[in-house]
Amino acid sequence: MIIWEFKSTEVGTYAAQLSPTGYSIDGQDLDANSYRAINTGNLIDTVVSKSWAKIGFSYNYLSESEAQALSSTLLTNPMYVRLKCPLLGASLQEYEVRCSKKNLKMVSDARTVGDDNVHYTMDFNLVQKKWVTGQ
């Protein structure tokens, strides 16, 4: 199943990425000049747009070459990706994002010797940079 695709700026075409082990979407509304009323505590806000996405990916089993390729992709800013984002109702929609956080861990099986027993886990977030239709 395709969860996300990365658009290479050199080529301009999308390439499907490895399906993650875990995938989460945090949608946040953006507002301007929000404050709490001193006498009532009510939130006084003006919503600018809704459901800005912060998308979390996790991979439990990557080879060294897969981890390196993914790490290299995440250095791109801005990144153009197509994502499945049910918050906005689109099956695959283009987003301009940047990687805001990444974590890579090497895991090995101590019972065997050699590179074949080493794999990596990776977690990262992509944060939406620009408004898309439906927000």
User: Does residue 10 carry a pLDDT above 80?
Assistant: no
User: Does residue 7 carry a pLDDT above 70?
Assistant: yes
Of 2 and 30, which is predicted with more confidence?
Answer: 30
Of 3 and 91, which is predicted with more confidence?
Answer: 3
Q: 14-16 and 43-62 as β-strands: parallel, antiparallel, unpaired?
A: unpaired
Tens of pLDDT along 73-101? 999 999 999 988 777 666 788 889 999 99
Q: The pTM is what?
A: 0.78
User: Does residue 102 carry a pLDDT above 90?
Assistant: yes
Q: How many residues does the chain have?
A: 135
Q: Phi, psi at residue 22, to the nearest 5°?
A: -135, 150
Tens of pLDDT along 36-80? 889 999 988 888 877 788 899 999 999 999 999 999 999 999 999
| pLDDT confidence band for 12 (50 / 70 / 90) | confident
Within a 10 A sphere around the Cβ of 44, how many other Cβ atoms?
A: 11
> What's the whole-number mean pLDDT along residues 101-130?
84
Between CA 55 and CA 46 the distance in angstroms is 24
How high is the pLDDT of residue 70? 95
Average pLDDT, the chain: 86
CA distances from 34 to 29, 42, 49, 118, 134 (A): 12, 10, 13, 49, 23
